[in-house]
Amino acid sequence: MTSTNVSSKSNFYFKSYKKERLMLWELIRINSKTYTRKLISIILFFLLWEFLCWIDFNFIINFVFVPTPVEVINAFIQFINDSPWVHFKASILRVIGGFISGSILGIFVGLLIGSSKILEDFLATPLELLRPIPAVAWIPLAILMFPDAESGMYYITFVGAFYPILISTQKAVENSLSDRLMIRVGQSLGANSFQLFKDIILPSSLPGISAGLVIGMGNAWFCLVTAEIIAGRFGIGYKTWESYVISEYPPIVMGMVLIGLMGAFSSFVVLKITDSFMPWRTISKDGI
């Protein structure tokens, strides 16, 4: 994401020593530059892809069988004309379900492990042993353990979302706890452990938790194809897998692109929502 920071409304009448006042037209100018750059990058990407297919590029990577962007668009049009909503709905529900349960549990357990040594000793090891297991490896157990295919699919997207959120939360809390000054300030003002946690540890951990949520959202999509292999009749991941099984190439790429788009979009939404909880931050990149 870009940087042009327009932090608080208050900056309009307050001029700090490090920030010049940003006029509206300047904001538009700076933003339009980054939008143009982003648009150009996407066009270049598709042109390169089309070009590599067109020359039948075949050096280490083989583009001979890769469908061109135009074929993918055609597959997409066909998909849209053919009741796409059931697939979207099925996938979106699974991702949201997995993400929300993963966030709640990941943040909760992360806060506990991050702030208590005893709980860390009891919980961290088994969780850490389960963490490296890839989503695909969970398929058989998910089928055996859950009453129906649908809940197994929720479980696999949940696994994808849970771990990055858990680890980021834990590390963010530990990092906050290592800031002795912030804690001493709270103690000298008379805060008890609960108040220290609520007013100091938690807000200072928010940036880390936010990063975990953004990665977790991406991972939930990542695991969607895997989840929808379990069973299915519906879902973007299922559609992708099915096309592979019947050797129909353009819909595979279409499924990939759709998952990429929806994953990126939902991560962006998560980022914006979490950013709105942290209005105090001013981020400047490239010295802007």
Partner 1 sequence: MNQNILSKTKGKVVIDNISISYSSRNEQIYALKDISATINPGEFVCILGPSGCGKSSLLNGIAGFVNPSNGKISLDNKEINKPSPEMGMVFQQYSLYPWKTVKENISFGPSINKKGNESPEEIALKFLDMIGLSKYANHYPNELSGGMQQRVGIARALANYPDVLLMDEPFGALDSQTRIIMQENLLKIWREFKITVVFVTHDIDEAVFLSDRILLMSTLPGKIKRDLKIDLPRPRDKETTDSKRFIELRQICHSLIREESIKAFEKQNHL
Binding site for partner 1 (CB under 8 A): 8, 10-11, 14, 16-17, 19, 181-182, 184-185, 187-192, 195, 199-200, 203-204, 206, 278-282
CB atoms within 10 A of CB 203: 13
Nearer to partner 1, 151 or 284 (CB): 284
Nearer to partner 1, 41 or 276 (CB): 276
Q: Is 119 exposed, middle or buried (0-12, 13-18, 19+ CB in 10 A)?
A: middle
What are the residues whose beta carbons fall under 8 Å from the beta carbon of 237, sequence distance 6 or more?
Answer: 91, 224, 225, 226, 227, 228, 229, 255, 259
Minimal distance, residue 27 CB to partner 1, in Å: 18
CB of 201 closer than 8 Å to CB of 176: yes
Q: Read off the DSSP letter of residue 14.
A: -
Minimal distance, residue 4 CB to partner 1, in Å: 17
Nearer to partner 1, 10 or 41 (CB): 10
Minimal distance, residue 85 CB to partner 1, in Å: 41
Minimal distance, residue 190 CB to partner 1, in Å: 3
Nearer to partner 1, 17 or 59 (CB): 17
Place of tokens 């530059």: 33
Tell which residue, 282, 194, 56, has the closest CA to residue 186. Answer: 194
Minimal distance, residue 57 CB to partner 1, in Å: 50
Phi first, then psi: what are they for 4, rounded to 5°? -45, 100
- Helices 85-115 and 149-177: angle between axes, nearest 10 degrees: 40
Nearer to partner 1, 85 or 280 (CB): 280
